[in-house]
Amino acid sequence: MSCIENIDKSRVPRHVAIIMDGNGRWAAQRGNKRTFGHKHGVKSVRSAITAAAEIGVKYLTLYAFSTENWNRPKYEVDALMTLMVNVIKAEADDLKKNNVQLKVIGDKNSLPVRVCNEVERIEKNLKNNTGLTVVMALSYSSHWEIINAVKSIAADVKKEKISVEDISQDLFDHYLSTAEIPNPELLIRTSGEARLSNFLLWQLAYTELYFSPVLWPDFGKEEFFQAICDYQKRERRFGMISEQIQKPNLK
């Protein structure tokens, strides 16, 4: 029986974020180069998108390439950039047909021009879709994003567009690359590693964390549904006590 049967469709997280980890180890286990693992990771990207759309998730954020990943060997960085462009190109028609939007977050200026142009072209092409939004974090890190937001806020204060007193949690949200996107209710990290790796640090403040031992190329729809089932067993208290969650009018 598929785990999808156990999912309560009325309590599906609106936003799921994934740290797709373990491609390199998956390839090494098969005596292959790391890039072999990345290529096989693409089918898990497809499965996650299909599974998320199937149960009504509105936003799926995928950590595809971090700011720190630029420090990997050149052959791997080049292969990953080529893979991103090829995958986005190859999947564009299917994404359009399936009503999926694409939004890329990260330091687009640091991307090779061909990658930047292609992602912007596809983002534009899918912008009228209304179903699942796939947010691809590309050359992204939270430290980069937060510093960027602070600089923009400081510039707006200097230009007297806003005052220091206007700075609030809500205002800060709007200066992040995820402005307009709700915070993830669930973060999945594959491959057994249990850390956040500079990913959505501000946005994950109250997110439920799910660490799966499965390496990313083996993470299929069933594993995605298992993560959702696990999430639905959690009680999200946001600093309150259990009784307040169960009886919202309790004083």
Give the residue numbers marked as catalytic.
Answer: 21, 69
Applying the rule CB under 6 A, the residues between 38 and 57 that interact with ligand FPP are 38, 41-42, 45
Backbone angles phi, psi at 215, to 5 degrees: -75, 145
Q: Which residue, among 212, 207, 215, 210, has the nearest Cα to 238 in the 3D structure?
A: 207
> Which amino acid belongs to residue 123?
E
> Running DSSP on this structure, what letter comes out for residue 200?
S
51 vs 136 by CB, closer to ligand FPP:
136
Q: How far is the CB of 117 from ligand FPP (least distance, A)?
A: 16
- Answer yes or no whether residue 87 interacts with ligand FPP by CB under 6 A: yes
CA 76, distance to chain mean position in Å, is 21
Q: How many residues bind ligand FPP (CB under 6 A)?
A: 20
Measure CA of the first residue to CA of the last residue in the chain; give whole Å.
43
Q: How far is the CB of 45 from ligand FPP (least distance, A)?
A: 5
Q: How far is the CB of 155 from ligand FPP (least distance, A)?
A: 32
> Which amino acid belongs to residue 95?
L
Q: How far is the CB of 31 from ligand FPP (least distance, A)?
A: 14
What residue spans of 19-141 are helical by DSSP H?
Answer: 23-29, 34-55, 74-97, 113-125
Residues linked to residue 209 through DSSP beta bridges, in sequence order: 187
84 vs 111 by CB, closer to ligand FPP:
84
Binding characters for ligand FPP, 124-163, by CB under 6 A (x = yes): ------------x---------------------------
> Running DSSP on this structure, what letter comes out for residue 237?
-
CA dist., res. 182 & res. 95, Å (int):
22
CA dist., res. 86 & res. 88, Å (int):
6
Instruction: Tell me the window of 17-25, 118-126, 139-147, 241-249 that interacts with ligand FPP (CB under 6 A).
Output: 17-25
Binding characters for ligand FPP, 174-213, by CB under 6 A (x = yes): -----------------x----------------------
* Alpha-carbon distances, residue 105 vs 20, 65, 119, 123, 188 (angstroms): 16, 10, 10, 11, 18
- Answer yes or no whether residue 62 interacts with ligand FPP by CB under 6 A: yes
CA dist., res. 88 & res. 241, Å (int):
45
- Answer yes or no whether residue 64 interacts with ligand FPP by CB under 6 A: yes
Indicate which single residue of 18, 84, 200, 227 sits in contact with ligand FPP (rule: CB under 6 A): 84
7 vs 64 by CB, closer to ligand FPP:
64
Q: How far is the CB of 127 from ligand FPP (least distance, A)?
A: 18
> Running DSSP on this structure, what letter comes out for residue 71?
G
7 vs 61 by CB, closer to ligand FPP:
61
Chain residues in the site for ligand FPP (CB under 6 A): 20-25, 34, 38, 41-42, 45, 62, 64, 69, 83-84, 87, 136, 191, 216
